[in-house]
C-alpha cells in the first residue's frame, strides 16, 4: 500500500482529492467489504449493528450511475440570471485515511468551522480531523477568510517530489511558498510554523461529493442546508463502517443536526463537550473556545445567524407592541427584549412600520448612535434601545413616540443601576434614592423633550439582519477594578472584562485560564455571542500583541483597528520581483525614450525613501519650455493578475503612521528599484509639455522613458537653492523656472475657483534613539511644496483627459462632490457676526472668492481658522468608474477641474497603478488588461480603494493622537491658549496653535448654558460668554482612562480682551526655537 498521507506525501487540497482516489489495499478487498469486516470494535461483523443504529439511509439513495449533473441558477454581477450545469463523475475506489494511532476521528460540520475557527485552528485537542468537501465549499461561499484558514490547515508541507520532477529541497520550497500564499491571520505564526503544526494534528479533506457511497441527492422540498447537513452525517456514517479502532465523532454546535445525528446512532458532540472530554489529556484546551450560548426566546436563525427561536414574540401582525413590554425586564430574567422573528421583520418593512439601516455609533461612546432612514436620521440612545447591536451592524428599528421614550428611559436607568460599569453609569449604592416627586419631575422633563419638535426622531432596535463583528484590540480591566465595582457582577477566576480600544464598542466578557498572563497586555478578542440574558457580549481572545503603553504595540493596535494589512509579503509575491541588484537592461529600455541626459530632480518630504515622482524643465530654442513630470514605472514590474498585483489590489495604499509606514508593495520596489533616487537610472512613465513662458500649454505627450535623476532634494533643500541668490547652477535655475511657472498655473486655477483650504497637520519631533515624541508642532509648508503639487495636479489632469477620451466606460477617475449646503449656511451666519457679511458659496468660484475676502489683516489665526472651517464643510473625494457615474458628476469641486485622476504615486496607491495601465493602453503600448474591461469589477475595486484610503487617513490621525498623548504624558500638564472653532452639545471644539492640535473642551451643563444653534456658551454664574473665534486658556494633559491614550483638554478661563493674545509671528518664532532641539523624523507622504 502507498505510504501514510501524513508521513511525507503531501498535498494541497487538490492533491488530497487525487490521493483520496488511490487504489484499494492488496488482497482485492473492496471498501464495502472492509467496512463490513471491520465495523465492530471487537473485530466482528459490524454491519448488522450499524443497521440497528439507524444507518439504513446510508445506502438508500446511493447513485447507481457514475455520472451526475448538478444544475443551478446563479445571478451574475451584471444582475443577469445564468444557468450553470456541472458534470460530476462518481468514484468507487476511495479508501479513507487510516489515522494511525488515533483514539478518535472528528468529522466537522459547517457550523462548527464558521463559529469556532480559532478553536479548531489553534487548540491541540482538535486533531485527526476529517473535513468533508461539502463543508469546505460551504465555508468558501460564506466566509473567504475562514476558508483560507481551513485550507491552510488541510495542507501538508512536503510535495510529492517525484511526481513533479523536483528535488526534495525544491519540493519543500514550493510547498512553503504555496502555504504562505494563503492569507495568514496576523500574529498566528509563519506559514512554515503552521504547516508543521498541521502535520502533527492530521487534517484531511474527504471528497464526499465525488464518491458514490457518500454522494447525497437533494430530496424534494429539502433545503440546500438540510441536504448539506445530511451529506456531512453520511460522511460520519461511512467512516464508522470503514475505520477500525478510532471512535468517529461528529463535531457540531447545530442543535438540529446534533439531534438528528444522535437519533441515527452517531456520537455527536458540541465544541464545549469535546473540550470537557479532552481536558484530562489537554489541561489547557478550550482557551480559544467561542462562547456560543444557545438563546432561549431569541428570534429565528434567519436574523444575523442567531439561534432558533424557542419562545418568539407572539405580537399579531400589524399590531404595534406596547412600549412597556420592551422596557420591563423579562419575566424569564432576560436583560434585553427578544428580537423579532424574520417573518415579522419582513412584514414590518413592507408595511412601513419598521426601518432598516446600518448603525453608526457616535464618536467616543457605545450608548448613542444613528441610522439613516431615507433622508432622515433616527437616533438610538441607551443599551435597551440598542438591544445588543454594535457599530456597523445592519439593524431593523421601529420609531418610538414620546410615551415609549419615557418608559425606555426609565428602564435604561434601572439597567444602569444593575450594572457596575462606567459605560452604563456608576453604581448608585452610596447615593440617595430619588423621591417619587423627583421621579415624576424627571418624567415630565423627559416627556417634554420627547415631544419637542427640534429633537431627532427616536427609535429602538428590534432585529439585527447582519452582524459586523470583527477582531477587536484592547486590554483586560484590572482585577482589582473589576472586584471593587460591587457585587452586581458575578465573576469567577476565569472571567475577565475586556475594554476595547475603540470606545464605540461595549465591554466584552471573556473566559480564560491564562488570566495573569493577559494582564497589562494588548490583546485581540473576537465576539462570539450576545444573548438577551447577559449585560455584556461574550468573546474569546485570539492573540497577544504586547505590553500596554509600548509605542510599537500601540501602533500595532492602530493598524489592526483600522484594518491595515501588515502581514509579510509571501514567497509567491517575492518571486514576482526582479533581482536585488537589478539595473535596466536592453530588454527594459527597448521602446522607451532616453531622458538620461535631461536635468531631472525629485523634491519630496524629508527622509522620503519611496520617491515616485521627479520633475524637469529646459528652455527650448524657440523660447518655450519643455517641462516634464516623470513617475516611477511600477507597472513594468507589477503585471496584472500576478501574486504581487493581487496583494497590492487588496492593500490599496501605503499607510503612514508618525514613525513607520506599511507599504503596499515590497520594499525592494518601493525604496530601491522603483524609487527615483539621485544618480541612478530608473524607468518612468512621463508626461512632457511644451509651454510658453506664460505657462500656456502648446502640446502634451505621454511616453515611457528612462531617466537618471541629478538629485533627490527635500522641500527645504530645494527652497534653500531657490532663495540663495549666489546659487547659479543649472539645477537651481531649473527649479526657479519650475517655481515661476507653478505660480502662474496656481493663479489660473484659483481664478477658475480652486479652493485653498487649510487643516491642522501635526508634526512630531522624535528622539533619535528611543523614537519617542519630544515635541509636537504644526507642519510647515513652503513654496516648493506648492510647486511640486501644481505639476502633479497638472499631470493628473492631463492623464485623466487622455484615458477618458480612449476609455469613456472603463476610466478610473477621482471626483469631489460639492460641499454640504447646510454646513456652509451655518458658517455664513457665524462669519456675519464677525463683520464678514458678503459670504457666498453658490459655486466653487464664489466660495473661493468669499474665502479670499474673509480675512482680518491683524489676525492671521482668524484667516487660517476660516479656511479650516470651510474644510470641515467639504465632502470626501472618491475614486470611481466612469461607466458607473453620469458625466455631469465627474468634476473635482476643490481643484476646479472637470476631469481629474491619480497618476503620480503608483508606489503607494493602487488607483495610480490602474491609471498607468489605462494610459499605457490608450497610447498603444500594451493591451487593456481584463480587470479593466468590466465596469462592475472596476467599480468594486474603486469602492475597496476608497474604504482603504479612508481607513489609512484615520490610522494616521490615530497615530498623531497617540504621539500627542505620549508627549504630554512625559511633559506633564501644560496650559496653552486655544481658539474656539465650534460649539457642540458636549462642549466647545478648539484648536491649540502652539501645538497644532484640536480637541473638545467639556463644558458641564451645571455651569454653562450651551446653545448649539447660536454657537454660544454662556456661564450660568455670570462668568462670561464664549462664541466662535474667542480665545480661551485650556489645560492639556494625558488621560489613560480605560487604556485609550487620550489627550484631555480642560477649560481654565476666558482670555479677556485686555490681555494680549499671543501674536502669530511670536508663536511661529517659539516653534522654531523648540525645533532646534528636535529631529524631524516624521514620515510625511506627498499630498498628490
Report pLDDT digits (tens) over 529-541: 898 888 899 999 9
Asked if the model's pLDDT at residue 221 lies above 60, the reply is yes
SS3 430: coil
Check: CB of residue 1000 under 8 Å from CB of residue 987: yes
Distances (CA, A) of 525 to 540, 566, 912: 6, 18, 35
Contacts of 270 (CB under 8 A, 6+ apart): 251, 252, 253, 258
Give the whole-angstrom CA distance, residue 1007 versus residue 1021. Answer: 7
| H or E, element range at 406 | helix 402-418
Distance separating alpha carbons of residues 1054 and 1058, to the nearest angstrom: 11
pLDDT at 765 over 90: no
Instruction: Determine whether 745 is exposed, middle or buried from the number of CB atoms within 10 Å of its CB (0-12, 13-18, 19+).
Output: middle
Report the pLDDT value the prediction gives residue 348, as an integer from 0 to 100.
92
pLDDT digits (tens, 9 = 90+) for 1027-1039: 888 889 999 999 9
In the predicted model, is pLDDT for residue 89 greater than 90?
no
pLDDT score of 94 = 77
- In degrees, rounded to 5, the angle at the alpha carbon of residue 862 between the alpha carbons of residues 859 and 867 is 140
pLDDT at 610 over 70: yes
| Cell triple for 368 | 448613542
Residue 195's pLDDT band (cuts 50, 70, 90)? very low
Indicate if the pLDDT at residue 353 is higher than 70. yes
| pLDDT at residue 411, rounded to an integer | 62
Closest CA to 352 of 405, 399, 401: 399
Task: Find residue 897's DSSP bridge partners.
Answer: 892
Per-residue pLDDT, 319: 39
pLDDT band at 54 (very low <50, low <70, confident <90, very high): very low
What's the confidence (pLDDT) of residue 698? 95
> How would residue 827 be classed by pLDDT, with cut points 50, 70 and 90?
confident
pLDDT score, position 634: 96
pLDDT at residue 419 in the model: 60
Which of 785, 825, 804, 795 lies closest to 891, judged by CA? 804
Beta bridge partners of 508: 498
Residues 454-483: tens digit of each pLDDT: 457 889 999 999 998 889 999 999 877 655
Taking residues 860-870, report their average pLDDT.
80
Each residue of 300-325: pLDDT tens digit? 343 444 433 333 333 333 333 434 44
If you ran DSSP here, which 8-state letter would residue 72 be given? E
Lowest mean pLDDT among 53-67, 294-308, 405-419, 477-491: 294-308
Task: Say how many Å lie between the first and final Cα of the chain, rounded.
Answer: 64
Residue range 934-949: average pLDDT?
94
Q: Give residue 501's pLDDT band: very low, low, confident or very high (50, 70, 90).
A: very high
Comparing 477-486, 761-770, 982-991, which segment has the lowest mean pLDDT? 761-770
| Measured distance CA(995)–CA(778) in Å, rounded | 6
Residue 740, classified by CB atoms within 10 Å of its CB into exposed (0-12), middle (13-18) or buried (19+), is middle
pLDDT of residue 414: 60
pLDDT at 407 over 60: no
CA distance 410 to 430: 20
Q: What is the number of helices (H) and of strands (E) in the chain?
A: 35, 39
* Closest listed residue to residue 670, CA positions, set 809, 553, 554, 577: 577
Q: Residue 769's pLDDT is what?
A: 42
The confidence score (pLDDT) of residue 93 equals 79
CA 470 centroid distance within chain: 9
Average pLDDT of the residues of the chain? 78
Q: Is 737 helix (H, G, I), strand (E, B) or coil?
A: helix
What does the alpha-carbon distance between residue 918 and residue 938 come to, in Å, rounded to a whole number? 12
pLDDT number for residue 853 = 82
Using the predicted structure, report yes or no on whether residue 1086 has a pLDDT greater than 60.
Answer: no
Q: What is the mean pLDDT of residues 959-986?
A: 88
Return the HEC string of 778-802: ECCCCHHHHHHHHHHHHHHHHHHHH
Strands 812-815 and 81-89: unpaired
730 close to 601: Cβ distance less than 8 angstroms: no
Separation CA 131–CA 1031 (nearest Å): 67
% of the chain exceeding 90 in pLDDT: 42
Q: Report the largest interatomic distance among the alpha carbons of the chain, rounded to a whole angstrom.
A: 106
Say what the pLDDT of residue 318 is.
37
Per-position DSSP letters for 301-368, written without gaps between them = TTTTTPPPPSS---PPTTPPPPHHHHHSPPTTS-SSPPPPPHHHHHHHHHHTSEEEEE-EEPTT-SSE
Pick 896 or 13 by higher pLDDT: 896
Residues pairing with 707 in the sheet: 682
DSSP string, 238-258: HHHHH-SSSEEEEE---HHHH
> What Å distances lie between residue 691 and 623, 694, 748, 1001, 1020, CA to CA?
9, 8, 15, 52, 64
Pairing of strands 129-132, 104-108: parallel
Beta partners for residue 629, in sequence order: 615, 687
Residue in the block written with cell 540663495: 724
- Report the pLDDT value the prediction gives residue 854, as an integer from 0 to 100: 82
453 contact partners, CB below 8 Å, separation of at least 6: none
Cβ atoms of 563 and 662 closer than 8 Å: no
This prediction has a pTM of 0.78
- 48 vs 676, higher pLDDT: 676
* Distance (Å, whole) CA 1049 – CA 508: 28
Whether pLDDT at 914 is above 80: yes
Tens of pLDDT, residue by residue over 677-698, are: 999 999 999 999 999 999 999 9
Q: Say if CB 744 and CB 695 are below 8 A apart.
A: yes
Confidence band for 63, pLDDT divided at 50, 70 and 90? low
pLDDT at 250 exceeding the cut of 50 = yes
What is the pLDDT, as a whole number, of residue 1078? 26
Cell digits of residue 156: 501538508
pLDDT recorded at residue 614: 96
CB count in 10 Å sphere of residue 1062: 16
State the SS3 of 878-922: EEEEHHHCCHHHCCECCCCECCCCCCCCCCCEHHHHHHHHHHHHH
State the Cα–Cα distance between residues 407 and 321, nearest whole angstrom.
13
> What letters, b where the CB count within 10 A reaches 16 and e where it falls short, cover 358-385?
bbbbbeeebbbbbbebeeeebebbbbbb
Please check the confidence at residue 766 and state whether its pLDDT lies above 90: no
Per-residue confidence (pLDDT) for residue 292, from 0 to 100: 67
In this structure, what C-alpha cell is assigned to residue 834? 464677525
Alpha helix (H) residue ranges in 590-714: 643-651, 667-668
What would the grid cell of residue 72 be?
443551478
Strand partners, 400: 458
Alpha-helical (H) ranges within 656-704 are: 667-668
Instruction: Using the predicted structure, report yes or no on whether residue 799 has a pLDDT greater than 90.
Output: yes
Amino acid at each position: 500500500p502507498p505510504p501514510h498521507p501524513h508521513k511525507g506525501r503531501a498535498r494541497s487540497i487538490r492533491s488530497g482529492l487525487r490521493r483520496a482516489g488511490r487504489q484499494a489495499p492488496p488482497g482485492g478487498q473492496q471498501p464495502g467489504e472492509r467496512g463490513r469486516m471491520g465495523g465492530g470494535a471487537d473485530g466482528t461483523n459490524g454491519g448488522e449493528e450499524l443497521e440497528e443504529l439507524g444507518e439504513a439511509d446510508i445506502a438508500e439513495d446511493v447513485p447507481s450511475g457514475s455520472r451526475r449533473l448538478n444544475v443551478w441558477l446563479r445571478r451574475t454581477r451584471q444582475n443577469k440570471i445564468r444557468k450553470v450545469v456541472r458534470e460530476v463523475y462518481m468514484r468507487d475506489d476511495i479508501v479513507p485515511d487510516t489515522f494511525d494511532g488515533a483514539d478518535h476521528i472528528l468529522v466537522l460540520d459547517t457550523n462548527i468551522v464558521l463559529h469556532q475557527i480559532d478553536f479548531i485552528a489553534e487548540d491541540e485537542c482538535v486533531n485527526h480531523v476529517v473535513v468533508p468537501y461539502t463543508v469546505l465549499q460551504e465555508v468558501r461561499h460564506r466566509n473567504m477568510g475562514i476558508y483560507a484558514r481551513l485550507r491552510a490547515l488541510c495542507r501538508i508541507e512536503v510535495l510529492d517530489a517525484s511526481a513533479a520532477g523536483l528535488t526534495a529541497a525544491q519540493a519543500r520550497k514550493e510547498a512553503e511558498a504555496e502555504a504562505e500564499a494563503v492569507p495568514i491571520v496576523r500574529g498566528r505564526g509563519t506559514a512554515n510554523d503552521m504547516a508543521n503544526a498541521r502535520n502533527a494534528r492530521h487534517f484531511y479533506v474527504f471528497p464526499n461529493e465525488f464518491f458514490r457511497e457518500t454522494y447525497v441527492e437533494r430530496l424534494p422540498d429539502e433545503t440546500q442546508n438540510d441536504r448539506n447537513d445530511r451529506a456531512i452525517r453520511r460522511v460520519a456514517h461511512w467512516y464508522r463502517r470503514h475505520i477500525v479502532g478510532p471512535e468517529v465523532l461528529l463535531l457540531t454546535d447545530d442543535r438540529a443536526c446534533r439531534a438528528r445525528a444522535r437519533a441515527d446512532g452517531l456520537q455527536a458532540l458540541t465544541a464545549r463537550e469535546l473540550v470537557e472530554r479532552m481536558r484530562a489529556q489537554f489541561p489547557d484546551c478550550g482557551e480559544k473556545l467561542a462562547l456560543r450560548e444557545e438563546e432561549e426566546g431569541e428570534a429565528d436563525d434567519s436574523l444575523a445567524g442567531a439561534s432558533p427561536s424557542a419562545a418568539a414574540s407572539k405580537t399579531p401582525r400589524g399590531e404595534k407592541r406596547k412600549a412597556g413590554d420592551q422596557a420591563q425586564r423579562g419575566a424569564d430574567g432576560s436583560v434585553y427584549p427578544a428580537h423579532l422573528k424574520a417573518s415579522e421583520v419582513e412584514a414590518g418593512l413592507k408595511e412601513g412600520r419598521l426601518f432598516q439601516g446600518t448603525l453608526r455609533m457616535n464618536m467616543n461612546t457605545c450608548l448613542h448612535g444613528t441610522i439613516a432612514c431615507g433622508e432622515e436620521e433616527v437616533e438610538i440612545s441607551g443599551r435597551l434601545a440598542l438591544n445588543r447591536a454594535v457599530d456597523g451592524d445592519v439593524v431593523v428599528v421601529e420609531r418610538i413616540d414620546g410615551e415609549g421614550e419615557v418608559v425606555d428611559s426609565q428602564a435604561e436607568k434601572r439597567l444602569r443601576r444593575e450594572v457596575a460599569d462606567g459605560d452604563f453609569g456608576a453604581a448608585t449604592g452610596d447615593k440617595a434614592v430619588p423621591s417619587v416627586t423627583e421621579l415624576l419631575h424627571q418624567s415630565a422633563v423627559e416627556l417634554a423633550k420627547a415631544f419637542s419638535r427640534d429633537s431627532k426622531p427616536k427609535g429602538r432596535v428590534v432585529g439585527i439582519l447582519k452582524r459586523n463583528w470583527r477582531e477587536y484590540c484592547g486590554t483586560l480591566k484590572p482585577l482589582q477594578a473589576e472586584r471593587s465595582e460591587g457585587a452586581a457582577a458575578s465573576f469567577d477566576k476565569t472571567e475577565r472584562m475586556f475594554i476595547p480600544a475603540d470606545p464605540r464598542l461595549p465591554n466584552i466578557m471573556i473566559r480564560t485560564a491564562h488570566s495573569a498572563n493577559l494582564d497589562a497586555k494588548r490583546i485581540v478578542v473576537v465576539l462570539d455571542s450576545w444573548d438577551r440574558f447577559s449585560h455584556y457580549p461574550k468573546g474569546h481572545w485570539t492573540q497577544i500583541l504586547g505590553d500596554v503603553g509600548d509605542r510599537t504595540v500601540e501602533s500595532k493596535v492602530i493598524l489592526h483597528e483600522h484594518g491595515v494589512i501588515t502581514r509579510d509579503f509571501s514567497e509567491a509575491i517575492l518571486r514576482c520581483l526582479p533581482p536585488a541588484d537589478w539595473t535596466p537592461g536592453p530588454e527594459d529600455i527597448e521602446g522607451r525614450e532616453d531622458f538620461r541626459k535631461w536635468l531631472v530632480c525629485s523634491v519630496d518630504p524629508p527622509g522620503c525613501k519611496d520617491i515616485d515622482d521627479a520633475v524637469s524643465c529646459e528652455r527650448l530654442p524657440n523660447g518655450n519650455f519643455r517641462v516634464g513630470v516623470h513617475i516611477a514605472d511600477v507597472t513594468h514590474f507589477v503585471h496584472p493578475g500576478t501574486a504581487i498585483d493581487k496583494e497590492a489590489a487588496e492593500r490599496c495604499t501605503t499607510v503612514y503612521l508618525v514613525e513607520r509606514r506599511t507599504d503596499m508593495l515590497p520594499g525592494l520596489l518601493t525604496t530601491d528599484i522603483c524609487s527615483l533616487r539621485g544618480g541612478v537610472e530608473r524607468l518612468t512613465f512621463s508626461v512632457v509639455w511644451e509651454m510658453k513662458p506664460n505657462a500656456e500649454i502648446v502640446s502634451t505627450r505621454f511616453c515611457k522613458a528612462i531617466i537618471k535623476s541629478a538629485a533627490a532634494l527635500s522641500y527645504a533643500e530645494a527652497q534653500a537653492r531657490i532663495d540663495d541668490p549666489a546659487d547659479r547652477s543649472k539645477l537651481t535655475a531649473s527649479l526657479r523656472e519650475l517655481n515661476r511657472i507653478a505660480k502662474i498655473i496656481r493663479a489660473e486655477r484659483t481664478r477658475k475657483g480652486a479652493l485653498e483650504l487649510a487643516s491642522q497637520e501635526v508634526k512630531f519631533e522624535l528622539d533619535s534613539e528611543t523614537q519617542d515624541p519630544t515635541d509636537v508642532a504644526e507642519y510647515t509648508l513652503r513654496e516648493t511644496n506648492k510647486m511640486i503639487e501644481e505639476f502633479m495636479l497638472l499631470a493628473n489632469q492631463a492623464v485623466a483627459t487622455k484615458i477618458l477620451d480612449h476609455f469613456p466606460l472603463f476610466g478610473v477617475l477621482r471626483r469631489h462632490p460639492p460641499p454640504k449646503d447646510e454646513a456652509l449656511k451655518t458658517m455664513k451666519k457665524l462669519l456675519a457676526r464677525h463683520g464678514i457679511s458678503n459670504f457666498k458659496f453658490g459655486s466653487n468660484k464664489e466660495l473661493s472668492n468669499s474665502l479670499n475676502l474673509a480675512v482680518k489683516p491683524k489676525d492671521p489665526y482668524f484667516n487660517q481658522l476660516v479656511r479650516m472651517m470651510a474644510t470641515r464643510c467639504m465632502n470626501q473625494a472618491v475614486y470611481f468608474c466612469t461607466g458607473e457615474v453620469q458625466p455631469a458628476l465627474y468634476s473635482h469641486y476643490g481643484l476646479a477641474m472637470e476631469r481629474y485622476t491619480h497618476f503620480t504615486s503608483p508606489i503607494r496607491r493602487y488607483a495610480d497603478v490602474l491609471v498607468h495601465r489605462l494610459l499605457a493602453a490608450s497610447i498603444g503600448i500594451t493591451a487593456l488588461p481584463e480587470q479593466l474591461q468590466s465596469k462592475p469589477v472596476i467599480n468594486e475595486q474603486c469602492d475597496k480603494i476608497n474604504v482603504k484610503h479612508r481607513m489609512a487617513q484615520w490610522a494616521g490621525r490615530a497615530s498623531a493622537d497617540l504621539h500627542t498623548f505620549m508627549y504630554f504624558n512625559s511633559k506633564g500638564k501644560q496650559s496653552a491658549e486655544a481658539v474656539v472653532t465650534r460649539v457642540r452639545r458636549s462642549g466647545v471644539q478648539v484648536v491649540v496653535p502652539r501645538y497644532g492640535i484640536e480637541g473638545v473642551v467639556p463644558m458641564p451643563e451645571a455651569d454653562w448654558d450651551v446653545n448649539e444653534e447660536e454657537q454660544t456658551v454662556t456661564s450660568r454664574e455670570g462668568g462670561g460668554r464664549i462664541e466662535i473665534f474667542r480665545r480661551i486658556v485650556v489645560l492639556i494633559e494625558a488621560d489613560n482612562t480605560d487604556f485609550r491614550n487620550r489627550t484631555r483638554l480642560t477649560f481654565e478661563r476666558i482670555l479677556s480682551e485686555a490681555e494680549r493674545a499671543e501674536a502669530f509671528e511670536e508663536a511661529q518664532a517659539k516653534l522654531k526655537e523648540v525645533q532646534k532641539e528636535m529631529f524631524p523624523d516624521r514620515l510625511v507622504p506627498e499630498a498628490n
